[in-house]
Chain A
Amino acid sequence: MTAEVVLPGVLADLAGGAKHLSVDGGTVAEVLDRVAAEHPLLGRRIRDETGAVRRFVNVYVDGDDVRFGRGLDTPVSDGAVVQVLPSVAGG
């Protein structure tokens, strides 16, 4: 399976300036593992060292927040869009 990972502009520099990445993987975890292997700093911005998605980072698969689904085990179909977005937070 190859997914399209969509990054917010603020993280694109950590992927060589790319906001869109083609990444293989059958689940969100596998996709994010490959992102981290290719771009370690980017990987650490999205997930902590336990592998958990950071509290104020949201990951969507084809528009659905994986936190309300199967989390990192959410399946990723061929051509799916895995979007990473910062949540509404800050101060």
Chain B
Amino acid sequence: MTDLIAIGTRKGLWLARSDDDRRSWTLDGPHLLAQEVASVSIDTRGPAPRVLAGIQYGHWGPTVMRSDDLGRTWQETESGAIRFPEDTGAALARVWQLRPDSADRPGVVWAGCEPHSLWRSEDGGCTFALVRGLWDHPHRPTWEPGGGGGAVHTVLPDPASDRVTVAMSTGGVYLSDDAGGSWQPRNRGITAVFLPDELPEYGQCVHKVAVDAGDPDRMYAQNHFGVFRTEDAGVSWQSIADGLPADFGFPMVSSPREPGTAWVVPLVADMERLPPGGRLRVHRTRDAGATWTELGEGLPDASWAAVMRDAACVDEGDPTGVYVGTRDGCVYASADEGDTFTTVAAHLPDVLVVRAARLP
């Protein structure tokens, strides 16, 4: 069994491998040197693991690269994997999210992009089609760009139904029950401190959303101020920030195995956006946000660097592995659900995204 971490940074991609059940890691890279890798996925559904990377070629624009040999070679669709149709008048600015669908939908991969758009591939990420239902939503012209740009940054396909949930900065959470054909805002209860109406129907700056392992209607959201849970697929949200040292942050990661279990990385906000006191800590709940436990063994006490929204993830191991990357180029891995961490990498460029997979 090999465990793999894909680490996307502002200047390239690194891959870390472990052949001893995540006790030690070997770092391989850089791949795609000097390219910004804002999104990455490891798709283990096919005959060989496929790594997809949403890159920015510096001066030369964004694209999706793919590798079927763990980074030894890379391919790019000649005409562009993601290409706005002519009638939209839009141009791809950045690929923020690459999300393979379930094993029951082989070849289906979702992409969330800037400008605010959702894309669906049926050929493993070689080509994507714009999801018109979201693009044509009457709210779209009023979704403002967050500090990093206006994008769909979270895509959550439900493996058991046609439900797809997305989250956007800004815009908030939208849900489709018909595979993307129609969309409804699902933000009631999530605050928007930057708007005159702090509880609008939509327009929130939701940083990341994760679905509970036991109930597709239960989701967790790390907001631009506020941590929330819904029990009704976003119809209403309640605060679960009590017990956290700060309610700001970017990642929200849920367990793929244990209902009620999720992780956040609190940051002091709004101007600092740094770990409280410079101590990088992960906080875990095992009761759906009722209580939180600070976890820090192996994490640094002097880390003046933030963790970006996709720079935290989990794997499908048992116990669940937890991975965190920082803007000062460090990556930490836990093989015991966050109780203890080891350092996988240091002194890389800013880590934008980490994704982990167990290779068959």
Contacts and interface: CB of A to CB of B under 8 A. Distances in A.
Contacts of B76: 41
A48 B83 CA distance: 9
> What is the size category of the interface that chain A forms with chain B?
10 to 19
Contact of A48 (B58, B61, B79): B61
Interface in A59-82: none
A89 B59 contact: yes
Contact of B57 (A40, A45, A49, A87): A45
A49 B80 contact: yes
Contact of B79 (A40, A87, A90): A40
Contacts of A48: 61, 91-92
9 nearest A-B pairs in the assembled complex, by CB-CB distance: A48-B91, A45-B60, A56-B59, A86-B59, A40-B78, A49-B83, A50-B91, A54-B61, A49-B84
A11 B60 CA distance: 9
A57 B91 CA distance: 15
A52 interface: yes
Contact of B90 (A11, A50, A90): A50
A49 B60 CA distance: 12
Contacts of A40: 78-79
Nearest to B58: A90
Interface string A6-35: 000001000000000000000000000000
Given A11-B60, A54-B61, A89-B58, 8 more contacts: A40-B79, A44-B60, A48-B92, A49-B86, A49-B92, A54-B59, A86-B58, A86-B60
**SS class, residues of chain B in contact with chain A:** loop
A56 B60 CA distance: 8
B63 interface: yes
A19 B176 CA distance: 49
Contacts of B47: none
Interface in B85-108: 86, 89-92
Given A49-B84, A50-B90, A52-B91, A44 B59 contact: no
A9 B80 CA distance: 22
B58 A56 contact: yes
Interface of A: 11, 40-41, 44-46, 48-50, 52, 54, 56-57, 86-87, 89-90
A49 B57 CA distance: 15
A77 B279 CA distance: 63
Contacts of A46: 60
12 contacts: A44-B60, A45-B57, A45-B60, A45-B61, A49-B91, A50-B89, A50-B90, A54-B60, A56-B58, A57-B59, A89-B59, A90-B59
A84 to B, nearest CB: 10
Contacts of B90: 50
B60 A57 contact: yes
A44 B63 contact: yes
Interface in B180-204: none
Interface in B274-312: none
Contacts of B63: 44
A65 B67 CA distance: 38
A12 B292 CA distance: 54
Contacts of A52: 91
Contacts of A45: 57, 60-61
Contacts of A89: 58-59
Nearest to B76: A41
A90 B56 CA distance: 12
Nearest to A89: B59
